[in-house]
């Protein structure tokens, strides 16, 4: 079943949901287009190649990047990564296009329209699975999706991907989406307030937003999630994020792009190994400024959510989800198929 595309750009993505969390301890550099080209630098006893990377703050969306830093995968690959934090998906796209960054995380709902318009972006792994869940306060008495009939569901904005996801889940469970009321409630702060004040009965959250809400004392019941197998086809094929560079930068610095991709592949492999849970939980707790008990729940939800490659069929399915046309962002043109 396809979700109808209602907007070309999905607001602030996960960063908006995670906005109230404290920033992680990564090094942040506010680069300008004039100094964006990679240069040679020296850290310790070895010469490392500097590369400026666009990232979301305090979001599990970019956990592979945090792990690659903390585990030394970038340094081992000869890279000195300098981080530019962005507060929205469109900012991450414009940073790459304008040369403020050379590599950046992207959310599909922002990157695909830019690619469709001809911007010279190139996708590479790790590719993050769609991370969305329909949730309700644990004391609401609502225990199934079917019980949402006639209820009020909070979404970041009308027509946003959060609403489209909720519509898909409702339809999947035999509920006509027109029989619920969608309430635009904005960022996580206002969503929390809406839940506390019973202005909405349910909402659509990411794993890190669920964790942030729990840290604020609001415990949620997950009714359907793309990560736990209860969101139909979207849980299998849906993509939330990937990393990207530009055609020009890849052409002028192929070894840097390859080294970055290799380090991130190591990170995805590290995350997939549950033997690393203790260290990973500590990294998540630090990243999101949440208790380790809650960070453990995030680890259990997302640590296997990244893959190092994407098939052409899956790419096309997600392009169709966002743009309405599976052929509008050609796999052969916009996807880097090897590190």
pLDDT of residue 90: 87
Confidence of residue 338 (pLDDT cuts 50, 70, 90): confident
Please state, for a pLDDT cut of 90, what percent of the chain lies above it. Answer: 65
Are 83 and 231 members of one domain? no
| Cα gap 324→284, rounded to integer Å | 35
Q: Name the least confident of 8-12, 53-57, 114-118, 149-153.
A: 8-12
Are 268 and 221 members of one domain? no
Are 116 and 260 members of one domain? yes
Averaged pLDDT for residues 142-155:
96
Are 228 and 299 members of one domain? no
Residue 8 belongs to some domain of the structure: no
Are 311 and 214 members of one domain? no
| Cα gap 71→60, rounded to integer Å | 16
Strand-pairing partners, residue 289, are none
Range of the domain at 152: 133-236
Among 236, 256, 272, the domain boundary falls at 236
Among 203, 236, 269, the domain boundary falls at 236
**Helix, strand, or coil here: 239?**
strand
Q: Residue 260's domain is classified under what CATH number?
A: 3.40.190.10
Are 88 and 59 members of one domain? yes
Q: Distance from CA of residue 240 to its chain's centroid?
A: 5
Are 117 and 265 members of one domain? yes
Q: Is the preceding peptide bond at 311 cis, omega within 30 degrees of 0?
A: no
- The answer to whether 54 touches 105, Cβ cutoff 8 Å, is yes
* Nearest CA among 207, 191, 203, 198 for reference residue 165: 203
Residue 5 belongs to some domain of the structure: no
Q: Name the least confident of 83-92, 178-187, 217-226, 257-266.
A: 83-92
Confidence of residue 234 (pLDDT cuts 50, 70, 90): confident
Calculate the average pLDDT of the chain: 85
**Helix, strand, or coil here: 104?**
strand
Is residue 305 pLDDT above 60, yes or no?
A: yes
Among 180, 211, 236, the domain boundary falls at 236
Are 298 and 321 members of one domain? yes
Is residue 281 pLDDT above 70, yes or no?
A: yes
15-32: b (≥16 Cβ within 10 Å) or e: bbbbbbbeebebeeeebe
Averaged pLDDT for residues 305-326:
93
Tokens of 230: 């209860």
CB-neighbour burial class of residue 337 (10 A; exposed 0-12, middle 13-18, buried 19+): exposed
Residue 2 belongs to some domain of the structure: no
pLDDT of residue 46: 61
Are 66 and 207 members of one domain? no
pLDDT of residue 273: 98
Is residue 120 pLDDT above 50, yes or no?
A: yes
Domain count, the chain: 2
Averaged pLDDT for residues 143-166:
91
Residue 4 belongs to some domain of the structure: no
Is residue 130 pLDDT above 90, yes or no?
A: yes
pLDDT of residue 41: 39
pLDDT of residue 288: 87
Averaged pLDDT for residues 245-262:
96
Is residue 252 pLDDT above 50, yes or no?
A: yes
Is residue 322 pLDDT above 70, yes or no?
A: yes
């Amino acid at each position: 079943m396809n979700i109808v595309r209602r907007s070309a750009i999905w607001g602030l993505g996960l960063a908006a949901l995670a906005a109230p969390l404290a920033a992680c301890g990564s090094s942040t550099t506010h680069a300008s287009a004039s100094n964006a080209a990679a240069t040679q630098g020296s850290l310790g006893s070895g010469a490392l190649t500097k590369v400026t990377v666009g990232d979301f703050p305090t979001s599990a969306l970019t956990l592979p990047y945090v792990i690659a830093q903390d585990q030394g995968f970038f340094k081992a690959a000869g890279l000195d990564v300098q981080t530019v934090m962005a507060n929205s998906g469109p900012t991450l796209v414009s940073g790459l296009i304008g040369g403020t960054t050379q590599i950046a995380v992207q959310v599909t709902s922002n990157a695909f329209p830019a690619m469709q318009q001809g911007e010279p972006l190139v996708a590479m792994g790790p590719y993050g699975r769609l991370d969305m869940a329909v949730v309700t306060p644990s004391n609401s008495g609502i225990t199934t999706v079917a019980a949402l009939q006639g209820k009020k569901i909070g979404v970041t904005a009308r027509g946003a991907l959060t609403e489209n996801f909720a519509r898909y889940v409702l339809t999947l469970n035999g509920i006509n989406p027109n029989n619920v009321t969608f309430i635009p409630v904005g960022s996580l702060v206002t969503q929390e307030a809406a839940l506390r004040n019973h202005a909405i009965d349910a909402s659509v959250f990411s794993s890190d937003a669920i964790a942030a809400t729990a840290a604020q004392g609001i415990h949620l019941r997950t009714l359907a999630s793309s990560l736990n197998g209860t969101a139909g086809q979207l849980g299998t094929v849906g993509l939330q994020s990937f990393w990207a560079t530009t055609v020009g930068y890849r052409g002028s610095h192929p070894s840097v792009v390859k080294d970055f991709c290799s380090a991130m592949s190591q990170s995805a492999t590290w995350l997939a190994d549950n033997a690393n849970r203790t260290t990973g939980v500590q990294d998540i707790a630090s990243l999101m400024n949440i208790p380790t008990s809650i960070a453990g729940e995030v680890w259990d939800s997302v640590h296997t959510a990244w893959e190092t490659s994407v098939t052409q069929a899956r790419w096309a399915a997600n392009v169709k989800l966002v743009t309405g046309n599976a052929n509008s962002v050609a796999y052969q043109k916009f996807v880097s198929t090897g590190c």
